[in-house]
Amino acid sequence: MNHSHDRPEESKVVLQPHDWAHGGHTVARTPEGRVVFVRHADVGETVRVRLTESDENAKLWRGDVVEVLEASPDRRDRHPWEPADALRAAALGRRPVGGAEFGHLGLERQREIKTGVLRDLLGGIGKFGPQELDQLAPRVEALPGEDPDGLGWRTRAHFAVDDDGAVGMHPHRSEDLVPVEGFPLMVPVLERLELHRVNLTGVARVDLAAPDGGRTQQPPQLILTPRSDSARGTVTSSAHGAEARDALIARLERDLLPHLDRVGPGTSVVLGPPEGRAGEHTVVAGQGHVVEHVDHHAWRVSAGGFWQIHRLAPGHLLEAVLRAAQPREGQFALDLYSGAGLFTAALAEAVGARGTTTGAVVGVEGSPVTSADAVLTFGDDDHVEVVRGGVEQVLARRWPGTVRSRGRRGSGGRHGRARTRPAAGSAVADGSRRPDVVVLDPPRVGAGKAVVDAIHALGPERVVYVSCDPATLARDLARFRHHGWAVESMRAFDLYPNTHHLESLVTLTR
């Protein structure tokens, strides 16, 4: 394989990547010893790289492959998405977009790389020894029923919108915007919306959501973020903001809604606050929320709320977390960074039915939107409480004699609270009771020292940590192990095929 798309004015270098780093990069060195993070390559290849960041004072350089001189046997003959294909992009004189940075390699090789990166981070930041890693044997697993090319899995996606109203995506670490005509990683119901055919002038960003993984008759949802620049379709001053918003809605009703009626009847359209601002959402068409289902459970998720992205992830993770947590009737479970309550629902069912047991679940979530959804979902359950706020602060308020707060906002979100109203004397209302089981599913920044210390101080029997970032997971596991916790089991899932991301599930005991 030898594809050349050089332009003489660009700075290029021939490299041989020798390792993988977290973040989707291979690692190479120039003949002078300069470290270069190279995207769209594989270890063992010989590639020509266009340098995208090459400041002489930088600790490392970055670059994209533009020619493959010696190919990996795992390199695909054809990238599944042209805008993200580095070789195709170079031929067109531009950089590849993000969103499918592993698409040049076969899925088995992708999972092999992710497994290696996970092991390296656990052995480095996590301070696991070689024998410990061999005993844990972490391995990134494909989900049952995955598409053979790793396509059609995203139930959530977002696009930026350029000045001319066309949807696009950014190259890695770039403000450039490349127009796109689709995104094959999305589930088919979202692909069929064909947003590239619509003029979205005045919109800065569009978020798409397909409830129930696009498997049911529930229509999808679009959340549009207006531009805040008055020269680009909206006006930022309060005097003209309402007028500009009304004009944008009228334009959407004229151009977008007829298109959606043809390609996606029933699609909801929700207009959020201008970019960079807080505010209310306006329903232009349909509803401001979707309902997600797994088995007999149902969750309300409002526009802008969090839900698992992979179409199979909610059911798969729910089953795996329950198996790891082993909740029993009558226990008290704590669900941290609980989102809309995916794990809260299953934990509540396991510890006991409403009004018939001393079992209880408290879910803690920082997002005002998502925690409000959880309040509505669990409002009739007297053994479930939803608390909005930063995890560190919520735990310190509830157990002031046990958990010490640094007085700062934690990674869970805001200080304010929104909760259900547990019956007086119920298991939830007992503030002196400590959790038997803790489940936490933090954002990419992880839980951090203060939250890990708080969980340890509460002394649960088991901790189940769901992570979407192996680096912060490794850091937090090192802290748990410092406190004497042992990793009983570890699993990793390929919830993000054709990207470098992975999901991990760790069970900790003492």
- The annotation status of 243 as a binding-site residue, yes or no, is no
Pairing assessment for the beta strands 503-509 and 462-467 based on DSSP bridges: antiparallel
Confirm whether 468 is a catalytic residue.
yes
Does 292 show up as a binding residue in the annotation?
no
Q: Is 396 helix (H, G, I), strand (E, B) or coil?
A: helix
365 annotated to bind ligand: yes
Compute and round to an integer the Cα radius of gyration of the chain.
24
In sequence order, which ranges of 214-312 are alpha helices (DSSP H)?
A: 238-263
Using alpha carbons, select from 505, 488, 506, 460 the residue that is nearest to residue 331: 460
Rounded alpha-carbon distances, angstroms, from residue 19 to 79, 84, 172, 309? 22, 22, 20, 29
Alpha carbons within 13 A on the beta-carbon side of 183? 29
Single out the residue of 438, 414, 419 nearest to residue 429, CA to CA.
419
CB count within 10 Å of CB 183 equals 23
Q: Across the strands, what pairs with 291? A: 300
Q: Can you tell me which residue has the tokens 């590849």? A: 96
Query: Burial, 355: exposed, middle or buried (Cβ in 10 Å; 0-12, 13-18, 19+)?
Result: exposed
337 is in an annotated binding site: yes
Token readout for 59 is 């600790």
Q: Of 494, 503, 386, 509, nearest to 147 (Cα)? A: 494
CA dist 80 and 179 (Å) reads 17
**502 contacts 153 by C-beta, under 8 angstroms:** no
| Torsion angle in degrees (nearest 10) through CA of 209, 213, 215, 218 | -30
What span, in angstroms and rounded, lies between the C-alpha atoms of 302 and 104? Answer: 35
Which of these is catalytic: 89, 468, 474, 495? 468
Q: Collect contacts of 275-281 with beta carbons under 8 A, ≥24 apart.
A: 275/204, 275/205, 275/225, 275/226, 275/227, 275/228, 276/228, 277/228, 281/223
Binding region for S-adenosyl-L-methionine: 308, 337, 365, 441
Residues belonging to the binding site are 308, 337, 365, 441
Residues that are catalytic: 468
